[in-house]
Amino acid sequence: RSKEDGRGTIRFFEPEMDKRLRERHAIQQDLQSAIARGELELYYQPQATIGGGIIGFEALLRWHHPSRGLIPPMTFIPIAEESGLIVRIGEWVLREACREAATWPIPLQVAVNLSPVQFRHGDLQALVHTVLLESGLAAGRLELEITEGVLIADFGRAVSVLRRLKALGVRIAMDDFGTGYSSLSYLQAFPFDKIKIDQSFISNLEHNHQSAAIVRAVVSLAHGLGLPVIAEGVESSAQLEFLTRETVDEVQGYLLGRPYPIKHYAGMIGHQPDAAIMAGRTG
């Protein structure tokens, strides 16, 4: 498509990049009013013990854009982070997840993702404390998922915020483990409560010996430190069998259930299944 010479290539990409930038800007503009317009929604994906016992749900953010439709978090979260909007959005996510979980008849846990930007702005510990009080959710039912980006950004501050969060009684999980560079030293610097093995290793299990070796090593490391391990992105029973043999503690993935609005999981949280859900199950 591009011309053979270098200049042709540049001419080809320039308008493309310009279009991308304008698109990004447009998305950022729309995102500013997304909360007020009620366009954000949390989906919930089940997390279970390797034996199948439900533990709780991870809250995953969805944006129903009025004209673009459903925009995935991978698209709008980086934009929200760059513009600082993630601070308000993250606050909304935390409030909404805790408010929702507090209504569940069965006291399952809820896991909420935090952005590194939330650690750098505002008082996260005060926010979590307030939200727990407002919602009435027991601190022990809230798990906060962070990636190592949180620790890379400002190590000293992040560790002190994390300690204060733990002092509230919430748990801290390290998300996407194995994808960064210095995960091992971070495990020593902060007492995480759980390690989430990144889904890229799980999806490669069947075809890639390295992935199997990495999963095995992460489990051995985590268990050596006394930490439970959850595998993300479990899609097949072959993967589940492998993870069971490797003594992974918990699983999350399409095999158990996709992220859906919580009403899809009404039965799991202890609500009487209503007619619509029954129809969905048999249909």
Candidate residues 113, 125, 203, 239; the one interacting with Mg ion per rule CB under 5 A: 113
State which of positions 113-142 bind ligand C2E (CB under 6 A): 113-115
CB of 221 to ligand C2E, least distance (A): 19
Residues 226-245, interacting with ligand C2E (CB under 6 A): 232-235
CB of 246 closer than 8 Å to CB of 50: no
Residue 69 contacts residue 43 (beta carbons within 8 Å) = no
Residue 45 makes contact with ligand C2E by CB under 6 A: yes
Residues 234, 238, 240, 241, Cα dihedral to 10°: -170
In angstroms, rounded to a whole number, what is the distance separating the alpha carbons of residues 256 and 32? 34
State residue 209 phi and psi, 5-degree precision. -65, -35
Beta bridge partners of 252: 47
In angstroms, what is the minimal distance from the CB of 4 to ligand C2E? Answer: 38
The pair of structure tokens assigned to 257 is 């259930």
**Residue 73 or 180 having the CB closest to ligand C2E:** 73
Q: In the Cβ-directed half-sphere of 155, how many Cα atoms lie within 13 Å?
A: 9
How many residues bind ligand C2E (CB under 6 A)? The answer is 23
Residue selected from 259, 262, 265, 268 as contacting ligand C2E according to rule CB under 6 A: 259
**Residue 80 binds which entry of ligand C2E, Mg ion, none, with Cβ cut-offs from 5 to 8 Å by kind?**
none
User: Which positions touch ligand C2E (CB under 6 A)?
Assistant: 45, 60-61, 72-74, 77, 90, 93, 113-115, 145, 175-176, 199, 232-235, 253-254, 259
